[in-house]
């Protein structure tokens, strides 16, 4: 076993001394690092202007002003809301592109909502080349719901039939209960949150939640959205493992394993074939870490990532070694590598998942090992 380990280390050293091989190993972590930095820049907050239209003496405790202040006080999310003095300033901010879009809230927002007047209570200005307006609308109206639903709750307690046992409508007991309901609403909304978004994705069955549905956080891998680290990494490990089979075949042809004993030949041949794939696994793990896809998680999550990668690397080595035993010729095995590259990129979910769009593509993807590794995530 010691001899096989030494043979593996010497094979890794030989690979690293080849001119283009170290460059291939460094290219993946470098690309993931750059993609991670670019995604950090893209995740910067988008400026959005907000103002309240109406008279000069608008009360700062009105629903319109509370909504504007609540948006400006948000510390999380992808948008940076800031308050402008009037509607003209909002238009100027959007026109100069200092803000991607802008909202003008009607000062009589609460009265119009009470009267069920929904139109033109909040006006949106946005530049023609941006999509921030349609995306930020969800944030604005979720904050409006959090504020206005408090009023609906208090009105229901004070006037609804469910609380008729506390006294007649507009009585002191009903009014006191309505105030208490408003205070509890504020406390629950601040401490625990009353609104929750859950993103649901359909799956092709298996591996997700029950009934073929899985839930996912809205925040996903940063670098993976720009540079498919796992997809290209899976193909890289697969192809370099095949290259390891070619190297082992050439070593056998030169008779490098003949001086070894019969019991040592197979372990040393496997060690020589596994060297390129092992170096590729190390390169892919570094790429995942530098791209932000393996850091920041628990020790168990990182261990699972590393364990699956090593298991996949061993599977690729066994496949390549078995294919070498079938093909026999290193040249023929080398000629098969482009076929596996094209097939893995086309039929496996590297850039996109073709099985979701084209019938039969998923079955073709199962012919390639990267398919099974990528399905683990």
Please give the pLDDT value at position 222: 44
Per-residue pLDDT reduced to its tens digit, 62-110: 888 888 988 998 876 778 899 998 899 999 998 888 888 999 998 888 8
| In a domain? residue 215 | no
| In a domain? residue 211 | no
| In a domain? residue 2 | no
Residues 70 and 20 in one domain: no
Window from 46-50, 117-121, 212-216, 319-323 with minimum mean pLDDT: 212-216
Residues 263 and 331 in one domain: yes
Report the distance separating Cα 254 and Cα 154, nearest Å: 87
Q: Could you say which of 146, 172, 201 is where a domain stops? A: 201
Residues 107 and 250 in one domain: no
> Domain range holding 342?
15-39+222-375
| In a domain? residue 4 | no
Query: Could you tell me if 354 and 365 are in contact, meaning their C-beta atoms sit under 8 angstroms apart?
Result: yes
Mean pLDDT of the chain: 80
Residues 196 and 263 in one domain: no
> Hunting for tokens 């909502």 — which residue is that?
113
Residues 194 and 49 in one domain: yes
Structural domain count of the chain: 2
| In a domain? residue 238 | yes
Phi/psi for 83 (5° steps) reads: -90, 135
Per-residue pLDDT reduced to its tens digit, 183-193: 776 666 665 55
Please give the pLDDT value at position 153: 72
Confidence bin at 150 (pLDDT 50/70/90): confident
Outline where the chain has alpha helix (H).
2-16, 21-42, 63-72, 87-95, 109-114, 132-159, 172-191, 229-254, 262-290, 299-327, 330-347, 361-365, 369-375
| In a domain? residue 359 | yes
Strands 199-202 and 122-126: unpaired
Residues 229 and 360 in one domain: yes
Name the pTM for this structure.
Answer: 0.57
Q: What is the DSSP string of 15-32?
A: HHTSSSHHHHHHHHHHHH
């Amino acid at each position: 076993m010691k001899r096989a380990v030494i043979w593996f280390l010497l094979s890794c050293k030989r690979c690293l001394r080849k001119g283009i091989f170290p460059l291939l190993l460094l290219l993946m972590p470098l690309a993931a690092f750059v993609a991670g930095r670019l995604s950090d820049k893209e995740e910067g907050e988008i400026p959005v202007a907000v103002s309240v239209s109406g008279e000069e003496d608008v009360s700062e405790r009105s629903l319109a002003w509370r909504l504007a202040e609540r948006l400006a006080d948000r510390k999380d999310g992808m948008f940076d809301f800031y308050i402008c003095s009037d509607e003209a300033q909002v238009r100027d901010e959007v026109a100069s592109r200092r803000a991607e879009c802008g909202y003008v809230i009607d000062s009589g927002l609460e009265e119009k909502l009470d009267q069920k007047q929904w139109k033109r209570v909040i006006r949106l200005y946005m530049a023609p080349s941006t999509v921030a307006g349609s995306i930020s609308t969800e944030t604005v109206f979720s904050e409006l719901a959090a504020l206005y639903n408090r009023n609906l709750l208090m009105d229901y307690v004070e006037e609804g039939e469910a609380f008729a046992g506390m006294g007649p409508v507009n009585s002191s007991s009903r009014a006191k209960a309505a105030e208490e309901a408003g205070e509890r609403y504020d406390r629950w909304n601040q401490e625990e949150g009353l609104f929750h978004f859950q993103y649901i994705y359909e799956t092709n069955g298996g591996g997700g939640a029950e009934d073929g549905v899985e839930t996912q956080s809205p925040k996903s891998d940063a670098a993976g959205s720009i540079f498919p680290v796992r997809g290209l990494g899976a193909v890289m490990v697969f192809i370099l493992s095949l290259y390891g089979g070619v190297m082992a075949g050439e070593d056998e042809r030169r008779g490098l394993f003949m001086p070894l004993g019969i019991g040592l030949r197979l372990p040393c041949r496997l060690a020589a074939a596994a060297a390129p794939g092992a170096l590729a696994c190390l390169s892919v793990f570094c790429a995942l870490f530098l791209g932000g896809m393996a850091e920041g998680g628990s020790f168990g999550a990182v261990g699972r990532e590393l364990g699956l990668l090593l298991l996949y690397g061993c599977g690729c080595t066994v496949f390549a070694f078995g294919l070498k035993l079938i093909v026999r010729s290193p040249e023929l095995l080398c000629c098969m590598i482009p076929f596996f590259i094209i097939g893995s990129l086309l039929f496996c979910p590297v850039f996109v998942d073709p099985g979701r769009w084209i019938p039969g593509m998923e079955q073709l993807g199962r012919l390639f090992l990267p398919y099974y590794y990528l399905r683990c995530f």
